[in-house]
Structure 1
Amino acid sequence: MAVPNFNIVLALIGGALLALMIKLNSALAFFTSPVAASWTAHLVGTIIALLLMAIVSKTIQPKAVNINQSVTNVSAPLWSYLGGIPGALVVMLAAVTVNSELGLAGTLVLGLLGQVCFGLTCDYFGLFGVMKKELKRDQLFTILPILAGSFLIIFFRGTV
């Protein structure tokens, strides 16, 4: 049996942490409000990020790009600094939907469907600096099982 690619393991851990984050934030939102839960989550996240930056700042170097045989440091595009906006909205929206009839599983499967559809859209149109990729029929068919699973989880919870 081949050892899985380390990036696959990291992505799986990231997905599990996202589910944990959504559950923890929704529990806090239940007792306070979605806005208070979002502020708390982002405050704690900021403190942890600052600690991690302090720990690893000596080991990570800025990336350099080789253009015409000369090395030039490249700045991140301005839009790349706006990731906190959808992050804050995800925290608040997930806190609301987890505490609804959707529950954690329904919120996660619909979130997954949204991620896949947005990813395919970004790939097709080349949004946010992603290399344009033509949509293939098999990629579109990947959405069908997610839709079917979402339908089963949301509408037949515990009855099938």
Structure 2
Amino acid sequence: MQVKELLNQKGSDVYSVAPNETVFIAISKMAELNIGALLVMEHGNLLGIVSERDYRNKVILKGRTSKETEVHEIMTDEVIRVEPTDTLNLCMQLMTEKKIRHLPVVNQGKVVGVISIGDVVKTIIARQKSEIDTLRDYIGGGYPA
């Protein structure tokens, strides 16, 4: 299955924050949306990603304050991304190897969506369940000869 198929199912909403916003605003937005990361964008360009992990490691554990620290100070600027034609298996591999939970989906330089590890796992499990059900039907004689 390709990333574009997953985006068609789940939607392609992109939630972002500007690099000069405070971390407090970013964390508040994540809480409001019940998500674990935001893209950091300016004028439509992807500059980075900021996650709950960045907040924990670069604000809380460093004794900084979220109301005085700007997002660009803690964001991850080397963003691993995928394209709509990439497979979910590649996404799972990247997320596992790089220990990340979110992947921006970029098509011709433009962000067209974001997928999470939860999205990928849920989709893979649903697909496997469907295949198992189909095989059970076939073995049990559910298909005409």
TM-score by length of 1: 0.23
Structure having the larger proportion of residues in strand: 2
Structure having the larger proportion of residues in helix: 1
TM-score by length of 2: 0.25
